[in-house]
Amino acid sequence: MDLDLTGKTAVVTGASRGIGLAVAELLAAEGVRVVGAARTITPELEKVAAATVSADLSTSEGVRTVVDAALDHLGGIDILVNNVGGSDVDRLALGGFLDSTDEHWQRYLDLNLFSAVRATRAALPSLLERRGAIVNVSSISARLPASGPAGYGESKAALTSFGKRLSEEFGPRGVRVNTVSPGPVGTRVWLADDHFAATIAAAQGVSHADLLASLPGRFGITTGRITEPQEVAALIAFLASAKAANIVGGEIVIDGGVVKTA
Q: Which residues pair with 13 in a beta bridge?
A: 37
For residue 227, give Cα distances in angstroms to 19, 33, 61, 77, 215: 10, 26, 33, 29, 11
CB 199 within 8 A of CB 92: yes
Marked catalytic residue, from 114, 152, 170, 238: 152
Check if 108 is active-site: no
Q: How far apart are CA 124 and CA 159, in angstroms?
A: 17
Q: Which residues pair with 180 in a beta bridge?
A: 137, 252
Burial of 130 (0-12, 13-18, 19+ CB in 10 A): middle
Q: Which residues pair with 179 in a beta bridge?
A: 136, 251
Helix residue spans in 30-175 (DSSP H): 43-48, 60-74, 102-109, 115-130, 152-170
Please list the active-site residues: 152
